[in-house]
């Protein structure tokens, strides 16, 4: 069995790392850690301060005594384009030539500015078509992420997308039923990613500007508190010296923003459902730090009228309570979903 990569999710506000081990007895957790990043070190998926990001990875590596070199990482944001294509069934050189044509038709960047990969999802449909997933990422962004990981002393063995990592995390944690359509929403600090999966295959992907910072900024301005205080209120820990009326005001702010955010998510889901054939959404999974805002799952469920579940990627993973703080792990499980999905990868595999 090929050795697993270390899953490294380089997000806008923190670096998350998951290392697992697969064996015939199941999957066990080997390492887990989160390291905060300075504000504005990463902006809209672009690494602005490469030294700060590399130092954060190094700090995390030392703090958890990490062993291993091979890293699976993800790129995200508007620099990543994912398209599900229906083209005439073909193979070999003809398919490669057709996909180059599809890149030029579907990717809004110059061909020499992007790194491209594609995977056949359905080789032949009844109407002699095939379904292919096309992925393109801006070369400049990929090189930034490769550079910071290499500077921290690691080997960037796999470059994935957050959408596929989310899908892998859900598939391993809870699985997909035949012909089931589910949405996975990863709520990052600066933006959110929606991935829709049908019958175990990716069918839709979109990045949205709504993220955890939407909550933080609303609390900060409404209550005139520091960013740190607003973050504390957002996750429910409160702030020292706060007046008795403040928690109720925070609750109202969180409810109002959750309504706004859920409305944006629902517009995107409706766009997919209205454009798809036989699309019957059965569940929404939430990941990311702001998935823990209690008003948000309720707001999404009320609008979508389907069950909403906060994903725990460690639910089926063996965790040694002597090595890990289980309460801390469970509390941060949604934050770790992308890193967990990346940790399922092995050098040289193909998603």
Closest CA to 134 of 158, 162, 106: 106
Question: How far apart, in Å, are the Cα atoms of 114 and each of 141, 327, 343, 346?
Answer: 9, 42, 25, 24
- 87 close to 98: Cβ distance less than 8 angstroms: yes
- 127 close to 207: Cβ distance less than 8 angstroms: no
Closest CA to 183 of 174, 193, 312: 193
**Low-confidence stretches of the chain (pLDDT beneath 70):** 1-2, 236-247, 277-278, 350-351
- Helices 212-223 and 246-275: crossing angle in degrees, nearest 10, is 150
The alpha carbons of the chain give a radius of gyration, in whole angstroms, of: 20
Residue 276 and residue 202: Cα distance in Å, rounded? 13
Residue 79 and residue 70: Cα distance in Å, rounded? 24
pLDDT at 236: 66
- 342 close to 160: Cβ distance less than 8 angstroms: yes
- 201 close to 255: Cβ distance less than 8 angstroms: no
Secondary structure (3-state) at 16: strand
pLDDT at 278: 65
Q: What would the pLDDT profile of 11-38 be if each residue is shown by its tens digit?
A: 988 999 999 998 888 899 999 999 999 9
Question: How far apart, in Å, are the Cα atoms of 177 and each of 181, 191, 241, 304, 351?
Answer: 9, 29, 49, 20, 19
- 82 close to 161: Cβ distance less than 8 angstroms: yes
φ, ψ of residue 183 in degrees (nearest 5): -110, 140
Q: What would the pLDDT profile of 337-348 be if each residue is shown by its tens digit?
A: 999 999 999 987
Residue 117 and residue 96: Cα distance in Å, rounded? 11
Name residues whose C-beta falls within 8 Å of residue 195's C-beta, 6 or more positions apart in sequence: 163, 164, 166, 167, 183, 184, 185, 186, 202, 204, 205
Residue 134 and residue 83: Cα distance in Å, rounded? 5
Give me the half-sphere count of Cα atoms (radius 13 Å) on the Cβ side of residue 274.
6
Which two tokens mark 243?
A: 């007046």
pLDDT at 351: 60
Would you list the DSSP string of 289-327? GGGG-THHHHHHHHHH-S-EEE--TTTTSB--TTTS-HH
Q: Domains in the chain, start-ordered, CATH in brackets?
A: 6-80+136-214+251-344 (3.30.420.40), 81-135 (3.30.1490.300)
pLDDT at 238: 44
- 25 close to 349: Cβ distance less than 8 angstroms: no
Which two tokens mark 146?
A: 């490769």
Q: In what order do the strands lie in the sheet with 192-198?
A: 201-208, 192-198, 181-187, 281-287, 308-310
């Amino acid at each position: 069995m090929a050795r697993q990569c270390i899953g490294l999710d380089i997000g806008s506000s923190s670096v998350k790392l998951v290392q697992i081990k697969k064996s015939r007895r199941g999957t066990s957790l080997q390492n887990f850690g989160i390291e905060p990043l300075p504000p504005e070190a990463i902006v809209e998926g672009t690494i602005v301060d490469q030294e700060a990001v590399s130092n954060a990875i190094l700090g995390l590596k030392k703090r958890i005594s990490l062993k291993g070199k091979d890293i699976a990482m993800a790129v995200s944001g508007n620099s990543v384009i994912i398209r599900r294509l229906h083209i005439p069934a073909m193979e070999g050189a003809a398919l490669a030539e057709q996909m180059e044509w599809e890149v030029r038709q579907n990717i809004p960047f110059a061909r020499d500015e992007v790194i491209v990969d594609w995977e056949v999802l359905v080789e032949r449909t009844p109407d002699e078509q095939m379904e292919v997933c096309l992925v393109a990422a801006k070369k400049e962004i990929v090189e930034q992420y490769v550079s910071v990981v290499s500077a921290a002393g690691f080997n960037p063995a796999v470059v994935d997308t957050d959408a596929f990592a989310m899908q892998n995390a859900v598939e391993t944690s809870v699985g997909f039923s035949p012909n089931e359509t589910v949405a996975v929403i990863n709520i990052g600090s600066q933006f959110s990613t929606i991935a829709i999966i049908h019958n175990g295959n990716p069918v839709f992907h979109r990045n949205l500007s709504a993220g955890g910072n939407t909550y933080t900024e609303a609390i900060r301005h409404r209550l005139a508190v520091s960013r740190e205080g607003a973050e504390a209120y957002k996750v429910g820990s409160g702030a020292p010296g706060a007046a008795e009326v403040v928690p109720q005001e925070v609750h109202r702010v969180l409810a109002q923003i959750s309504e706004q955010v859920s409305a944006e998510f629902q517009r995107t889901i409706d766009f997919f459902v209205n454009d798809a054939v036989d699309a019957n959404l059965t569940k929404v999974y939430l990941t990311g730090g702001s998935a823990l805002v209690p008003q948000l799952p309720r707001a999404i469920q009320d609008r979508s009228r389907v069950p909403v579940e906060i994903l725990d990627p460690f639910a089926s993973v063996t965790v040694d309570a002597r090595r890990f703080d289980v309460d801390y792990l469970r509390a941060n499980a949604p934050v770790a979903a992308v890193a967990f999905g990346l940790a399922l990868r092995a050098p040289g595999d193909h998603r």
